[in-house]
Structure 1
């Protein structure tokens, strides 16, 4: 009786274990179906967060109303690779993390600086651009060299939520830091005389120089806070991140990244 009782318990435990295994999907299958890659291909729509006021990256043309720039082009390429419709969701540097976490979009594509602080909340792809920080001033104004910037009475404007903001907050010792959020703009502050300098990256400095006669770019002595620009996705979805990384690798190898970078005057900052 003792032997039979022991066998019965073992058999019962085995049956329970088998039933439990049968009710749980295979881990790879479960992850695949939960991934945003599966959701995008199933829904036929890719939602891309973009900041529509970023020169040469994702800038809404005042004439056509269309978003133009390298990430306007590359978001279309990503949607084409996936075989889905592209939907642009307007975002900003101050809100893109919340927008991703609230599932307003599957990916952010607008030259987002990959920083350690941001990486605590979102996942970054491999970089596709790398930029230093540049100053843009009024030609003929009081600031003409890099040494003129960090001085008493000089107001330096940055975009709220950008990676440049916290860096400049620590970097500046004498000048006053001014932050603006959309619809206000850094260039508007300089033109209006509320700031003498705007701090920006390579894409914006190039575009401002091409748009405005007053804009003069001042380069730092050597690279200042070189930052990789990457695409950003929610944390915890390795399948989707792997796909985005493969997309970045593919456009580097087949020449599309270089092609669209040159089209938007960003060739010098393409990531290797």
Structure 2
């Protein structure tokens, strides 16, 4: 009888612990923070950080924006059933602004880097590209490689805070490096002779070659690097990332992304 009572008490204690454990786990699940997906739908607004200075992805026009990723931002907002709200940032402030919660997503030709991914998630890649030199056409044959550029007497220009500055500082040890804070007028610095080369993504170089007579993009079919373009997302929020990834997959599969790409690359 004593043995039976002892076993019963032990079983009751174990069962109680199990019940309490399940209840605690259920409570923990109930208190888990909601996904940004829920917060965006509740607010009725998708906040998009963008620099507005990077053709063909994002460019400020008057009070608004246009570009491949601007159209994609509007498409994402529509898929979420909310309104898009663009938040202007600069490349040097992109990560601080994003991490401070000023926006729900960052879009606009953002290169996927391991350094950024230490602090944030990325969507699946929207496209793959690479960096190429953009030079005066007269210098096209002599400034083709890193070795060609990295010489005394050559001035490489870059916009501060992004992958272009990082590339320049990592690869050019003899060439002079100068920074220009306005990514819209940086190309004029080359035409004016105040800089010789700007190493940037092949897509931007191709667009500027058409817009600025006298500038030539070098070897766009053989870029100096490999880089993917994606959308910056809050770290740890797998629910929101899954939604964005599926939306992007559909947009690429149906030709929606290509339609915007062709529109702004022409």
Q: Which TM-score band applies after superposition, normalised by the shorter structure? A: 0.7 to 0.9
In the alignment, the residues of structure 2 paired with residue 183 and residue 214 of structure 1 have an alpha-carbon distance, to the nearest angstrom, of: 18
1:168 aligned onto 2:151: no
Within-5 A mapping of 1:26-37: 34-37=34-37
- 2:129 alignment counterpart: 131
Change (3 A) 1:185 1:9: farther
> Is the Cα contact below 8 Å between 2:156 and 2:177 reproduced in 1?
yes
Q: Is contact 1:146–1:220 with CA below 8 Å preserved after alignment?
A: no
Residue deviations 1:130-160 (CA, integer Å, cap 9, x gap): 1121222234469854255332111101122
- Structure-2 change in CA distance of 1:221 and 1:259 (3 Å): closer
Q: TM-score, normalised by structure 2?
A: 0.86
TM-score by length of 1: 0.84
Q: What does 1:49-198 align with in structure 2 at a 5 Å threshold?
A: 49-61=49-61, 64-140=62-138, 145-146=143-144, 148-182=148-182, 185-198=185-198
Displacement after TM superposition at 1:220 (Å):
6.4
RMSD: 2.7
Contact 1:142 1:196 in 2 (8 A): no
Range with bigger deviation, 181-190 or 220-229: 181-190
Q: Which residue of 1 aligns with 2:211?
A: 211
Unaligned runs of 5+ in 1: 267-272
Counterpart contact for 1:144–1:218, Cα < 8 Å: no
Cα 1:170–1:107 shift into 2, 3 Å: same
Which residue does the alignment assign to 1:230? 230
CA contact (8 A) 1:57 1:203 kept: no
TM-aligned CA distance change 1:58 to 1:3, over 3 Å: same
* 1:240-272 residue CA offsets vs partner (Å, 9 max, x unmatched): 111111111111111101111111117xxxxxx
Give CA-to-partner distance per residue, 1:195-225, whole Å, 9 cap, x none.
Answer: 1211111232122223222322222683310
CA distance in 1, matches of 2:173, 2:141: 16
Does the 8 A contact of 2:112 with 2:230 survive in 1?
A: yes
Give how far 1:3 is off: 5.0
* Structure 2 equivalent of residue 7 of structure 1: 8
Moved more, 139-148 or 247-256: 139-148
